[in-house]
Amino acid sequence: MGMGAAAIEWRYSNGLVPYDEAVAEMEQRVAAIRAGEAPELVWLLEHPPLYTAGTSARPEDLLDPQRLPVYRSGRGGQHTYHGPGQRIAYVLLDLDKPERGRDVRCHVWRLEEWIIATLRRFNVKGERREGRIGVWVVGRDGREDKIAAIGVRVRHWVSYHGAALNVDPDLEHFRGIVPCGIDPGLSGHGVTSLAAIGVTASMSEVDIALRATSEEVFAGPVCAG
């Protein structure tokens, strides 16, 4: 079944959900999914302004430790920013199901494909780049900026964490870190949002697009990851 199937719960949280509370709830849900006591879950929410440090985070990439709270995260990846105006999609799926397969790389590919399909609904071309996980957009000047980050963790073949799409966050907060280990000053790549590229979209419109595109991306085993 795809992500739009009735067997998967979709949750939409209003307000700002504290990061540690979200992680604790995800871990409880992962155990329940594994035990067959709860359905899979897609949870759409926003966090208060904060930084997370993934399992590959380098201390020197935290440029301004006093700027915002920093949380160690068990997800893959390096430092990233979460805050209001960014749609977080926590995706808790049983990768042990035959239609999904025990393939973490494929799961990451599908998350990227999901964001790309969602951006297409707003006439935005999202793209992948070799060696850079996430979704990127190319500006008129040819500069490539990241519009969505991907970070996942898998426990007993149940996935959690997921994707973060920049709708209209405060991009200045990204200056406190080297986002995902890619230094804008050295690479020429930055971070952007739908609002920054001139696309006006409400969070509810983004949620509708995310749900509408989920089925086409997660319906079967096909994966180019």
Q: Which structural domain, as residue segments, surrounds residue 179?
A: 9-218
Per-residue model confidence as pLDDT tens digits over 97-129: 887 888 999 999 999 999 999 999 999 999 998
The verdict on pTM exceeding 0.75 is: yes
Q: 19: domain CATH number?
A: 3.30.930.10
Q: Is residue 2 part of a domain?
A: no
Pick from 106, 104, 147: nearest CA to 127? 147
Q: Is residue 177 part of a domain?
A: yes
Residue 225 lies in a domain: no
How far does Cα 166 stand from its chain's mean position? 9
Q: What is the mean pLDDT of residues 11-29?
A: 96
User: What does residue 106 show for φ and ψ, rounded to 5 degrees?
Assistant: -65, -40
The number of distinct structural domains making up the chain is: 1
Report residue 49 as tokens.
């302004």
Instruction: Inform me whether the pLDDT recorded for 221 exceeds 70.
Output: no
Starting at the edge strand found earlier in the chain, the sheet holding 79-82 runs 70-72, 50-53, 79-82
Catalytic residues: 180
* Segment 187-190 long-range contacts (CB within 8 Å, at least 24 positions apart): 188/143, 188/144, 189/132, 189/136, 189/143, 189/144, 189/145, 189/146, 190/143, 190/145, 190/146
Tokens encoding 195: 């609002």
For 135-172, write each residue's pLDDT tens digit.
999 977 878 899 999 999 999 999 999 999 999 999 99
In this structure, is residue 82 part of a structural domain?
yes
Checking DSSP bridges between strand 86-92 and strand 41-46, what pairing results, if any?
A: antiparallel
CB-based contact 1:7 (threshold 8 Å): yes
Quote the CA–CA distance of 163 and 108 in Å, as a whole number: 9
What's the pLDDT at 122? 98
